[in-house]
Amino acid sequence: MLDLDRYTKSRIEQTLSALSGLTIYSGIKTDPVLTELRGILLAIVSAQTDDTGILHAADKSTLPYELTEKYSLIYSLLLRDKLSDVPDLGEYVFALVQNDDNLFARAASGRGTGTETIDLKISPEMRLCVINDLMRIETIASFPSRVLTSILAPVTSIPLPEWRHNPADQSPVTLYESLLTYHREKSFGVFSKYHAFIWKSNSLEPVERPDPIRLDQLFEYEYEISQVLENTRRLIRHKHADNLLLFGARGTGKSSAVKAVANACMDQGLRLIEVDKDELLTIADLLAYLSELSGVGLSFVLFLDDLSFAEEDTRYTILKTLLEGGVKIRPDHVAIYATSNRRHLVAEKESKEMYANDASDEKLSLSDRFGISIRFQSPNQQTYLQIVYGILKDRGVTFEEEVVSGKALSWAMRENGRSPRSARQFADYYEATCENTSGPSTVKE
């Protein structure tokens, strides 16, 4: 038996009503926490109530334990989202609201010079729907766990932890205005929380911890990086950006340049999507999805890293069609950035066929389809040392150039030659074997 007093019954009915009435934000109901919460509340109200206000389930012996299991799952999910001693349902729900993908969030993410400009895209009817939803969300977010623990614990004798349920400190109208600002600055849905993604199995997977490389950590390649940055700024402005091919010797920082530019421009609405060569067969689906996002103030770089094709690999024709545009025009908020160790992306073999030259031209033409090709050359000795010095200074490691230069050159000869990658690997070694970083450094031999 589950005892319900008037207050408990009222809170349960109000919360179920709020969940059922969501319109613009109906998508948050599929969240695991809210799904389980709704399941518990429905199970309680579905049970029969007698004249004394006591609920009787069809199977009185198992229902409380089933609901206790659901409650424990909710609590563990809240803990997983925010590792703290006492999770907060209110914070969790309002985070769902911020990161939801809906018509209002997309409209509010549109490019504009201010809140007033964006607000013109939102009809009075939508504004009213959003404010009404925010009133319902306030009811959901402030649902006290005590309502459930007071029902379940006396029956099961299982002590249950309780979550916080801090209500919003803003009125629905003020919260609406805050969301307008948030979406204008951060975008919507998954794009408001992440700026780097992987296209895999026909879906976008957010990268929780992308490479944090910064532009000021890339040394001695200012001209090459400036070309990438200038083209990316045109992409952000939706002003005829080119597809880029970054090619050159391995370890010269081609991939780092793309990632550093993406990190530098994420607050301007740039999102990086890495696409593996094996996913080229579904890249048309990705482009179709991104085409729908032309008005939300975002720009996308499709990043094809370390790209090359064997002669018999016909997937290069997909990329060629994509670069040419095919029947469909590439959206002006999407560009393809590829890196490769060689200028020509398709390997060739000698052939005595009559039309061998035609076949060769077909394969070589793939590289020509990129609007801009940027070559990253291996550094000479002095440039290599300047990169080493720059990395160590950036990390706050004190050193003597005469000592470091000899060791860095020996490292390059012994390992992978002179390159920014070798410089960074040597800097890692030198920093790790340094006795301290607060005075002249010595290296343990």
Mean pLDDT calculated for residue range 222-229: 96
Q: For residue 98, what are its two tokens?
A: 């911020």
Residue 272 · residue 195 · CB < 8 Å = yes
The answer on pLDDT for 441 being more than 50 is no
Question: Please, which residues bridge with residue 368 across strands?
Answer: none
| Residues with Cβ within 8 Å of residue 230, at least 6 apart in sequence | none
| Distance separating alpha carbons of residues 114 and 98, to the nearest angstrom | 19
| Distance separating alpha carbons of residues 330 and 243, to the nearest angstrom | 10
Cβ count near 330 (within 10 Å): 19
pLDDT at 267: 92
Q: Give residue 79's pLDDT band: very low, low, confident or very high (50, 70, 90).
A: confident
| Distance separating alpha carbons of residues 298 and 331, to the nearest angstrom | 12
Q: Integer distance in angstroms from the first to the last C-alpha of the chain? A: 74
Q: What percent of the chain has pLDDT over 70?
A: 84
Instruction: Report the b/e string of 338-366 with b at 16+ CB within 10 A.
Output: bbbbeebbbeeeeeeeeeeeeebeebeeb
Sign (positive/negative) of CA torsion 355, 356, 360, 363?
positive
Q: For residue 4, what are its two tokens?
A: 């319900």
Assign domain 196-376 to its CATH architecture: 3-Layer(aba) Sandwich (3.40)
pLDDT at 409: 93
Residue 110 · residue 295 · CB < 8 Å = yes
| Distance separating alpha carbons of residues 413 and 418, to the nearest angstrom | 8
The answer on pLDDT for 125 being more than 90 is yes
Top pLDDT among 360 and 371 is at 371
pLDDT at 295: 83
Q: Give residue 387's pLDDT band: very low, low, confident or very high (50, 70, 90).
A: very high
| Distance separating alpha carbons of residues 305 and 199, to the nearest angstrom | 13
Q: What is the CA radius of gyration of the chain?
A: 29
Top pLDDT among 55 and 346 is at 346
Could you give the count of Cα atoms lying within 13 Å of 295 in the half-sphere of its Cβ? 9
pLDDT at 62: 83
State phi, psi for 153 to the nearest 5 degrees. Answer: -60, -45
The answer on pLDDT for 440 being more than 60 is no
Q: Give residue 111's pLDDT band: very low, low, confident or very high (50, 70, 90).
A: low
Residue 262 · residue 231 · CB < 8 Å = no
Q: Where are the domains of the chain?
A: 2-186, 196-376, 381-433
Per-residue pLDDT of 141-184, as tens digits, reads 999 999 999 888 888 888 999 998 876 678 999 999 999 999 98
Q: Give residue 229's pLDDT band: very low, low, confident or very high (50, 70, 90).
A: very high
The answer on pLDDT for 58 being more than 80 is no
pLDDT at 445: 37
Q: What is the mean pLDDT of the chain?
A: 85
pTM: 0.82
pLDDT at 1: 47
Mean pLDDT calculated for residue range 279-293: 90
Residue 258's identity, in one-letter code, is: V
Q: Give residue 355's pLDDT band: very low, low, confident or very high (50, 70, 90).
A: very low
